[in-house]
A and B are shown apart, each in its own frame.
Chain A
């Protein structure tokens, strides 16, 4: 009897459950209707002007003058009434025209005769008289995509991304002879350099997040994108147990690659906004700084014999994104996308830190992790990265 009644109650229960689920939604809808109909909050609105916010996302300088892409972040649609460049009012064309709704973007084109190598200030005046300022620190023509430029950017990307990884991987034969202690030291060194990159990447992601529109909630986006990437990669890589060997090297290369993609974006954007001079010495300095990354990728595969194409693939995976990043960054930069890419990179780096540490733990146990060799290796990794960075910081 109970067998026959049970399905009945459950089927009778289903519409009731739907009704109960609908109830809070109906209540919410009613509350919203009342808010609009009775306007009980009118006393808060007062006569104060609406809150306004503008974020400058892109700047293009060419023979037609200056164009900026702005994103509105006001409590109400905002109207850009006038545009100043260098404390003077100029004709401008807004595309699309009219008030800019919250979160929407518009291009502002000003036929301003900008001067090569000098600074200019663009100031937008809204209908309430509020002003929003954007500094063009060094005016240079915005790069246009053409074959020779893409090629020379690729060379730059290769020098700061691929070359150091390849050089690091070329230590592989020499490192194969390392004993147990030497390999532990090298793995710890890898954790150290990844820790440096993690801090560095998060710092850059947060800085770019600060430049992006408020509605993207920069810091929260960075933290949760990084954490999400970390968990996703951890889950994917652990489908068949903890990754080791070539798989682990691949994940390290992926983490470094994502980090380099985000950095490529930032470098490309920096060029787009006017870095004309970058000395050969500095480029070589960055190359040196990044060689350690290659050694880190090589560490998990020292006891294996991967085919040669695997090395090429690892180098591409870790260094190639720098090239792509510079391309994208110089042609279509947006602070929130760059910040997001760096955040995902940070999550990927955290994942490999966990995996390499787990590998060391499996080899030496928890107490072994605290041995002078491993702690020293970790410290050495951080110090090497910090010191080589010091060489090129100005």
Chain B
């Protein structure tokens, strides 16, 4: 008898299901009909999700019959943005332009202040993560400057570990934010000084060791250098549209998306994926887009542990500027791009010929999608 139970367990662990047709006492005794399981099978999760998701976001009660409810694939509840101190919808358009001074010699000097601090943040409803942050938020502030400006970043470490700001850009070795060059202990301050170049969509992150831990704990942010139209006469209109503060730029709907993930149980595998930290936040609160105005996304991938991440736009195609260092697209008319860690770029597209509605975007690694990195554009004729 004991052997029977042990045997059954052993067979189960190998997933070794015998042919259902076998004339067996056990099988017959249980009378397991295939029908129940088959009806439970249904459509694959992601396909169903697209169809049903709108009903879910508009607040359908918990499933009674889940076979119709693949949109139930979602985290439960809502994150307390106020307690976190940052709101993922606000992060989309929240640029830190620092303070600008014109020096006597005419140089434009831009100063940013960034602090490092330990902070527990709610990264998904009810799940708290002991993060290390820049300015108390993850991702850190989205710094934005213009090509050629003299940048000063005053960095203060209020955290419990040594930290730095390592900028992807062109600068001297002394300003690199690695051990021995701009890495500071708790309570210290350092000022990074360099010229904003090259123009493009860049990032900064902590380069303290162990690097993996410092990055995935939350120490990263976007660093955008806009092109100076005066330096690019051949593409002046494009450069002006990219330059923050110009009327041409104001026509664009610009969005910050930092693709990140969290390993909440510290097993070097991520439990939650998102753009801008909060899993599923743009599913629950779709991003409003006015369909007549073009969209530009500054996208960066900082996901740790997984080799790549991706961005896929539904029902539309976009032009892509890899690393944003060119004024003509490096990829034209694509609906999917792939980025390794620290890779980034600018996406430009428009919904002007689309009908209003919810248009999905997500990583096209289904695993990342199902673990939170998925969202919706709410395309309307005008923002209500």
Contacts and interface: CB of A to CB of B under 8 A. Distances in A.
Interface of A: 61-65, 79, 81-84, 86-93, 111-119, 125-131, 137-141, 143, 148-149, 152-153, 155-156, 159-161, 197, 200-201, 203-204, 259-260, 263-264, 266-267, 270-271, 273-280, 282-283, 286, 289-290, 322, 389, 392-394
Contacts of B371: 84, 87-89
Given A113-B42, A116-B40, A89 B372 contact: yes
Contact of A138 (B1, B15, B62, B67): B15
A138 B2 contact: no
A139 B41 CA distance: 11
A274 B66 CA distance: 22
Q: Which of B5, B62, B63, B66 has the most CB of A within 10 A?
A: B5
Contacts of B235: none
A156 B26 contact: yes
A87 B9 CA distance: 24
Interface stretch (B29-37, B189-197, B325-333): B29-37
Contact of A270 (B9, B15, B76, B127): B9
A130 B372 CA distance: 17
30 contacts: A83-B76, A89-B124, A115-B40, A116-B40, A117-B17, A117-B37, A125-B127, A125-B271, A129-B129, A129-B262, A129-B264, A131-B264, A138-B15, A140-B37, A160-B4, A161-B1, A203-B2, A259-B1, A259-B2, A266-B5, A267-B1, A267-B5, A275-B26, A277-B22, A278-B18, A278-B27, A279-B24, A286-B3, A286-B4, A393-B7
Contacts of A280: 23-25
Contact of A149 (B6, B8, B31, B67): B31
- Residue among A65, A81, A84, A92 with the most chain B CB within 10 A? A81
A41 B155 CA distance: 38
A89 B20 contact: no
A267 B4 contact: yes
A322 B1 contact: yes
Contacts of B9: 266, 270
B280 A271 contact: no
A290 B1 CA distance: 7
B99 interface: no
Contact of A389 (B3, B36, B279): B3
**What band does the interface of chain B fall in when counting residues whose beta carbon is under 8 Å from A?**
35 or more
Given A126-B127, A129-B129, A152-B30, 9 more contacts: A111-B69, A115-B40, A141-B32, A267-B4, A276-B32, A277-B20, A277-B22, A322-B1, A393-B7
A153 B126 CA distance: 44
A327 to B, nearest CB: 11
A153 B124 contact: no
Nearest to B367: A87
B38 A116 contact: yes
Interface string B339-356: 000000000000000000
A129 B73 contact: no
Given A89-B280, A113-B67, A270-B8, A155 B2 contact: no
A63 B35 CA distance: 10
Contacts of A277: 17-20, 22, 24, 26-27
Contacts of A278: 8, 18, 24-27
Contacts, number: 232
A91 B128 contact: no
Contacts of A322: 1
Contact of A263 (B5, B15, B26): B5
B45 A204 contact: no
A47 to B, nearest CB: 9
B190 to A, nearest CB: 27
A392 to B, nearest CB: 6
B271 A115 contact: no
Contacts of A116: 34, 36-38, 40-41
Contacts of B74: 89-91
A350 B65 CA distance: 52
Interface in B47-100: 62-63, 65-67, 69-70, 72-77
A273 B17 CA distance: 12
Interface in B287-346: none
Given A156-B29, A277-B27, A278-B25, A270 B5 contact: yes
Contact of A113 (B27, B31, B41): B41
Contacts of A160: 1, 4
Given A81-B127, A143-B30, A153-B29, A137 B4 contact: no
Nearest to B33: A141
A81 B126 contact: yes
A92 B38 CA distance: 22
Interface centre among A88, A93, A126 (most CB of B within 10 A): A88
Contacts of A267: 1, 4-5, 8
A62 B17 CA distance: 19
B271 A81 contact: no
A88 B15 CA distance: 21
